[in-house]
Chains A and B, each alone.
Chain A
Amino acid sequence: MKHVTEEELFQYREGDQKGREAVAAHLGECAECRGELARLEAVFAALDAIPVPDPGEDYGARVWRQIAPRLPEKGRRWWEVFFAPQRLAVAGALAALVIVAFYAGRVTKQPPTPVDLAKQNQVRERVLIVAVGEHLGKSEMVLVELSNAQPASGQKLINIAAEQRRAENLVEENRLYRQTALEGGDKAMVSTLDELERVLLDVANSPDAVTPAQFESIQKRIAEHGILLKVRVVRQELRTAETGGKSQPAQTDSTAKEKNKA
């Protein structure tokens, strides 16, 4: 009789469905394998025998006392909030929007006709298109740098602190644009920015220095999501909309379906 392997027993205990019935049937008739399973169980029982010292009821309070002096102020002053780099980019886009809207208003005859209003909307959308395009460009750059980097052979740790910081800033910027896209009902853009956020968060939450294996895994995850391709497609659409003005952001929905297929 062929016995069950240790790995099969382990997967059986883990609840793995693959080959479960066969393992169960074998265990029913083989005392030796049941003994093996019992020995495996003993490992977990032995692990449970390791005590964890009780840190005490006031442990949480102690941790707070230790870290409280090291916590930076979260409620930033208004000028810090106003001049935060990621907000400046969005504020710049909004300022440009106001200026463009002002001049558009100057050259438009009064009272504005529906056609004039449509033109103003187009101008406003174009400013946003430029801003989102720049944001996607910066994100693409970070992801491309990470994807193309080749650690030197024998290198034990790879420092990605710079990319990590850039990704952190981009996450916040990304959320602001996502919110704008959501309000504008641009589902395709929301979906791309959602996916981008997940990948950026992945990078932002990685350690400052990673092992070659960890680094490879980050590269794999960027590749798995196909996010670079999606970002490039959307950027191309935005460029078309920006230069030709023929394709509007709302039209990206259909092309996004193609992109999602990719």
Chain B
Amino acid sequence: MSDAVAVERTLAGDREAYRVLVERHSAFVYRLAYRMTGNKEDAEEVVQEAFLRAYQKLRQFAGNANFATWVYRIAANYAIDRLRQRKNEDARRELPSRVVEGEPETDPLALVKDRAPSPEQLAGSVQLAAKMKEALGTLTPAERTAIVMRHWDGCGIEEIAAVLKSNTSAAKNTVFRAVQKLRLALAPFAEPRGAARAVGTES
């Protein structure tokens, strides 16, 4: 049964047809959810919520669109809301004195720099993966969403902008900012401290 037929039959009241869609696309949505949230529990919750929301809004789904892309976008929207909510809760819990209306959020770069171990402490891909996972955790929800959608899922800038509720130029900048921060976090591992030159300078 194709996705389009499964959607039609679900709308006609056939719940088993929706089971086909859930079983077919869960793993795909899970990969996005895991990369965005960074842990299994949250990822599983995002997947469930995405399919529940997709079911509730199925009448709004344009028949000629791709169901996988549509549910992916619902999951990304839910995951980014969840990341923002989590970030706000953490900020309230950990830094009550710093949460002031209008104050810019703590610079994740500073956090990465402070915690960065020496090159000797980092060795092998396991540590590298752990380091990158930690660096991903310091990105803002928008930056994390942008890099996940762009790098792993090859989404177009327009699609990323739609999820971030911004324009394409801002979305492009968000992806670049994420890459910059990740690069800085990786610097102690990939290159000796201070070795990276300030690009764009004369030599």
Contacts and interface: CB of A to CB of B under 8 A. Distances in A.
Interface of A: 1-11, 32-33, 36, 39-40, 42-44, 46-47, 49-53, 55, 59-61, 63-64, 66-68, 70-76, 154, 156, 168, 171-172, 201, 204-207, 210-211, 213-214, 217-218, 220
Interface of B: 10-15, 18-19, 22-27, 30-31, 34-35, 40, 44, 47-48, 51-52, 55-60, 74, 77, 81, 84, 88, 101-102, 125, 128-129, 131-133, 136, 147, 151-152, 165-167, 176, 179-180, 182-183, 186, 189-191, 196-197, 199-203
- Looking at chain A's contact residues, is the secondary structure mostly helix, strand, loop, or mixed? helix
B183 A52 contact: no
A90 B77 CA distance: 33
Contacts of A60: 22-27
- Looking at chain B's contact residues, is the secondary structure mostly helix, strand, loop, or mixed? helix
B27 A68 contact: no
Given A63-B22, A75-B13, 9 more contacts: A32-B203, A36-B199, A39-B183, A39-B190, A39-B191, A46-B189, A63-B47, A217-B165, A218-B165
Contacts of B13: 73-76
Nearest to A206: B165
Contact of A71 (B11, B15, B129, B180): B15
10 contacts: A2-B200, A3-B200, A42-B186, A46-B132, A51-B129, A55-B30, A60-B24, A60-B27, A74-B13, A217-B165
A73 B44 CA distance: 23
A44 B24 CA distance: 28
A46 B60 contact: no
Contacts of B18: 71, 74
Nearest to B201: A3
B121 to A, nearest CB: 16
A169 to B, nearest CB: 11
A195 B30 CA distance: 33
Instruction: Please give me the 7 A-B residue pairs with the lowest Cβ-Cβ distance, nearest first.
Output: A75-B13, A60-B23, A5-B200, A154-B101, A60-B26, A217-B165, A214-B165
Contacts of B152: 47
A77 to B, nearest CB: 10
A3 B198 CA distance: 9
A63 B199 contact: no
A35 to B, nearest CB: 9
A164 to B, nearest CB: 11
A205 B60 CA distance: 9
A75 B12 contact: yes
Given A74-B58, A211-B84, A50 B19 contact: no
Contact of B52 (A70, A73, A156, A211): A70
Contact of B15 (A3, A55, A74, A213): A74
A61 B102 contact: no
Contacts of A51: 129
A46 B34 CA distance: 17
A59 B31 CA distance: 12
A7 B47 CA distance: 34
